[in-house]
Amino acid sequence: MSKVIIPRLDLNDYTNGSADERKEFSNGIGKAFNETGFVTITNHGLSKELMAELYVEVKKLFDLQEDLKKKYEIIELAGQRGYTSKGREKAKDSNTPDLKEFWQVGQFVEGEIMPKDEYPDNISVSELPRFNEITKEVYQKLEHAGTHILRAIAVYLNLPENYFDEKIKNGNSILRGIHYFPITNPDSLPADAVRAGAHEDINLITLLIGASADGLEVLTRDGDWLPIKALADDIVVNVGDMLQRLTNNKLKSTTHRVVNPPRELMGTSRYSVPFFLHPRSEMSLACLASCINNEQPKAYDDYTAGQYLDERLREIGLKKN
């Protein structure tokens, strides 16, 4: 199976480039999100050293004893802060949980008082003070990069460049550290048990900081599963369902999965750190009028981002009815 080639764009062309370079970046990301659904971004604001240290700290977290990790799992938070143990999350249309555990860091609210039921406090790991520091730093750097990427998307959509700015300020974004644990007894697993079942992301855009091993695959427009492999220093960015709804399928949320490794590597771990950029709960996801026409009639009911997030958290098993 050959690797799919996805466009590689330089965010510096948009943030500091000429008018022509900014326009080329905006067109490039729009074209990528129409064709492959994914793009890789360089000069995103995270140094190679910071990314490497992040993965060191994430590994330290998941290396903690099970009883220590469990003390950071608060079920009523629906996985939105702190630790989520093995067997709790599944793909929307699957009955079998993913083979993973994860940790989520949420918004560091500034300048506002936000409702605690939507914005619970972040959970600090007392055993790993550097983990707490570096996840906050990475969260804020990725939020900054995502703001500029959304500005370029807004330009592509012929919206005001700052269309998304206030909608994502103190938005409900999530930084997730994932551990796909070793598969020690593969023959005992259900036939459909995989590290991450085929799914689309819930949010506006996802920014992914590499991964420690192969396994990410994207479903192409032709219906083929092909692996995604970015350069080590790049981040991978893809469209989520909220942006798909907003644009009435002009920008399509791409189906992707994380497959199990070859049998000889099943005893190894895989780590991954995506940043799910969410808007504020009150943002309307009603299809943009400019994206509705006779050839593309309105495809979705009007939802707010909060309503949609709540629905999806129930579908993937993190929130109970």
Q: Which amino acid is at 262?
A: P
Pairwise CA distance, residues 315 & 321, whole Å: 10
Pairwise CA distance, residues 65 & 97, whole Å: 22
The mean predicted confidence, pLDDT, of the chain is: 90
Q: How confident is the model at residue 319 (pLDDT cuts 50, 70, 90)?
A: low
* CATH code of the domain containing 47: 2.60.120.330
Average pLDDT of the segment spanning 78-95: 83
- % of the chain surpassing 90 pLDDT: 64
Structural domain for 239, as ranges: 8-315
pLDDT at 1: 43
Distances, alpha carbon 268 to alpha carbons 179, 183, 184, 186, 319, in Å: 11, 7, 9, 13, 30
Q: Which amino acid is at 181?
A: F
Average pLDDT of the segment spanning 283-293: 96
pLDDT at 321: 59
pLDDT at 170: 95
Q: Does the structure show a pLDDT above 90 at 300?
A: yes
pLDDT at 92: 73
Give this prediction's pTM: 0.93
What is the layout of strands, in order, in the sheet containing 101-105? 8-10, 38-42, 235-239, 205-211, 270-277, 174-180, 101-105, 82-84
Q: Does the structure show a pLDDT above 90 at 186?
A: no
Average pLDDT of the segment spanning 175-192: 87
- Kindly tell me the burial class for residue 155, based on how many C-beta atoms sit within 10 Å of its own C-beta (0-12, 13-18, 19 or more): buried
More confident residue, 317 or 151: 151
pLDDT at 2: 45
pLDDT at 4: 53
Pairwise CA distance, residues 132 & 72, whole Å: 13
Per-residue pLDDT tens digits for 219-250: 887 888 888 876 778 999 999 999 999 999 99
Q: Classify residue 2: in a domain, yes or no.
A: no
178, β-bridge pairs:
102, 272
Average pLDDT of the segment spanning 52-79: 94
Per-residue pLDDT tens digits for 96-147: 888 899 999 999 998 888 888 889 999 999 999 999 999 999 999 999 999 9
Q: Classify residue 1: in a domain, yes or no.
A: no
Q: Classify residue 320: in a domain, yes or no.
A: no
Q: How confident is the model at residue 57 (pLDDT cuts 50, 70, 90)?
A: very high
- Please count the structural domains in the chain: 1
Q: Classify residue 3: in a domain, yes or no.
A: no
Q: How far is CA 169 from the centre of its chain?
A: 17
Q: Classify residue 276: in a domain, yes or no.
A: yes
Q: Classify residue 210: in a domain, yes or no.
A: yes
More confident residue, 62 or 196: 62
